[in-house]
Every structure is written in C-alpha cells, then in structure tokens.
Amino acid sequence: MQTLTLQTPDDWHLHLRDGDMLQETVPATARCFRRAIAMPNLAPPVRNAEEALAYRDRILAARPEGSYFEPLLTLYLTDHTTPEDIAAASAAGIPAVKLYPAGATTNSAFGVTDLRGRYPVLEALQKHDMLLLIHGEVTDAHIDIFDREKVFIDEKLKPVTEQFPDLKVVFEHITTREAVEFVESTTARVAATITPQHLMLNRNDMLVGGIRPHNYCLPVLKRNIHQQALRQVVASGSPKFFLGTDSAPHVKAMKETACGCAGCYSAWAAIELYAQVFDELEALDKLEGFASHYGPDFYGLPRNTGTITLARQEWTVPESITLADGQPIVPFIAGQPVQWKLVEPL
C-alpha cells in the first residue's frame, strides 16, 4: 500500500495552550484533524462555561483562513466545581469535564484533592450526559511514579465506574497493561485514548544513555511490556480505544532545564506517526476506526465527512519550530525520519 485515505479524523485529547502559542498549535492541528478536545489546564484554568466559551473564541481566532477546525471545550474539575456549573456547561454545549488529581501534571495545582467529595458533581455529569475525562494517576508521595496509574485504577477509577454506571468515562493517555485490561473488562461506558509517544516509546527511550527531556511526559513512559500491550490493543481494532495525541507544547527552555516540563509536542506529525505505528503492526486497516470512528461514536457525535490522504513517503521532523516571539519548540521525535506523509490535508 503506497497511499492511505482516511475519513477525516479527530484528536480527542489536545493541549493548545493559550495566547500567542495558539498561532502555532491551532494550524498544526487543523491541517489534519477536524475536531479536537481542548484541555482546560490553562493558567488560570477553564472552570466554567463562560471561561470555556471565551477560550473557544480565542482558538477560533487562531484558525488558518478557510479552516473548519472545531475545538470542543472542557471544564477543569476543581474542589469548588458545583452541580450548577455542570448544568450551565451542558446548556452551553460543552461535552466534558476533565479530572486532574491535584499535582499530577502541568497546571494541575487547582485539581481535585478529594474525589469522593466530588461525587455530587459526577452525579450531575451523569444526569446531563456529559463525559468525565480522567488523568488517571494517584499523587501520593509513597507511590512509585511507575505504579501511579495502576493504583489509581484500583483505588479511584473502579469505585467511580461502579458508583456511576451510566457516566461516560474516558481514561485518557493510558500507559499500562493494567489500564488496557481494565478498559477491556468494564462496560461500554468506559473508553480510553492512546498517544503516539506511548505507542512508539518506552522508558528506555527516556533514560538510557542520558535523560531525554523531550520524551518526558506524564503519565511517564513505562516499561516495554506495557508499550506492547498498548500496541496490541490498537492493532486489535477494539472500538473502546481511540486517538488522543496529548500533544503538549513547551518552549525549549522550559523542557531543557533542571526541572523540565512534561509533554511531547506531536501535532506536527501526529497522524503520520500513528500511521507509522499501525503500519509496523500490519494493521493499517484498523487505523481509520481508531482515528476517525470510535471517538465520535463514543462522544455521541457524528463522524466527519471528507477525507485526508497519506503517502508512504519519508520526511524528517524539524529539529525545532520558532514561535512568533522567537522562542523555539522542539517537536516530538525532532530530526528523525517518518515513513508516512500527509499529502492531502483538510
């Protein structure tokens, strides 16, 4: 197969950031994704419908001329979120709320400290048929960072899905075999997104031969057995797993520092990298479902019309990208070859 045409895909987990950064991130995403779930962990975060709609306007203002890219907004769940906030968000057409355990990742200081205390809000989500998107890690200091996802499943996620059986839950950017097994074993109301970095890399790629800060993300890369579990499940074509890049830009100076930021900026090559992975797995026939069908189906949205086309053509990801203010960003797998190229974008 030398070309691959897909029904227009979406990105169900994306960090666009804010301000001048939008001039880079929005066009990079809009070249191949019609819709994207925009994460709310700004500074300050997106906490209510009014803030979400204002953020949407800023994203739309950064769209390339002629683009039909549509951001789908989310609220940031805090200890102060109320059922009334959820009702207002539902009325405004906001499809989801994002749960960050406090301290789990970038800009998560406003996150939830007591999940059981948020159960009235989860009940409101269930009532209004809104989705709960979860960064699934505990943050207890005594829990090894490589075990935080597994412990979250056992201590937090299972009780939530049992207490709220009609709540739609997306377990985002899963990284472990245990997460795969949990999602496969539970109800049709639970699904998961998987990133390109967690399909392509394991913790050796971050640590062997010296620390590689541009491969550092949260949840952190895990050992090979977990990477293989993710690869196997996407190759199976299960509709419970779909595309969410978790593309998360940081300027180079914030990554290459003594306390570097977590995140891989994959938007420049996202759909191409997924194609490369599915090609390696001899599962290119499963990519369209993963990229274009299962996400909108789970969200209860129509599938996109139109197509994009990729060709089996090697190209090299740039070593860096310069923002309007002159600061560089190092994209994911900078300077490395990619075997598929988008030749007919949106």
* Whole-number pLDDT of residue 107: 81
* Whole-number pLDDT of residue 103: 87
Per-domain boundaries in the chain = 3-344
Give, in degrees to the nearest 5, the angle at Cα 195 between 137 and 343: 165
* Whole-number pLDDT of residue 346: 85
- Give the amino acid at 135: H
* CA R_g for the chain: 19
Report whether 173 belongs to an annotated binding site.
Answer: yes
Helix axes 22-30, 49-61, angle to 10 degrees: 80
Q: Hunting for tokens 């997306």 — which residue is that?
A: 170
User: So what CATH class is 3-344?
Assistant: alpha beta
Report whether 150 belongs to an annotated binding site.
Answer: no
CB-based contacts of 19, cutoff 8 Å, min separation 6: none
Instruction: Locate 301 and state its tokens.
Output: 């949205």
- DSSP code per residue over 181-196: HHHHHS-TTEEEEE-H
Give this prediction's pTM.
0.97
3-state secondary structure of 85: helix
Report whether 16 belongs to an annotated binding site.
Answer: yes
Per-residue pLDDT of the chain (346 residues; tens, 9 = 90+): 799 999 999 999 999 999 999 999 999 999 999 999 999 999 999 999 999 999 999 999 999 999 999 999 999 999 999 999 999 999 999 999 999 999 888 888 889 999 999 999 999 999 999 999 999 999 999 999 999 999 999 999 999 999 999 999 999 999 999 999 999 999 999 999 999 999 999 999 999 999 999 999 999 999 999 999 999 999 999 999 999 999 999 999 999 999 999 999 999 999 999 999 999 999 999 999 999 999 999 999 999 999 999 999 999 999 999 999 999 999 999 999 999 999 998 8
Question: CB of 137 within 8 A of CB of 99?
Answer: no
Counting every residue written for the chain, the total comes to 346
Report whether 281 belongs to an annotated binding site.
Answer: no
How far is it, in rounded angstroms, from Cα 97 to Cα 130?
Answer: 7
Residues marked active site are found at: 246
Report whether 41 belongs to an annotated binding site.
Answer: yes
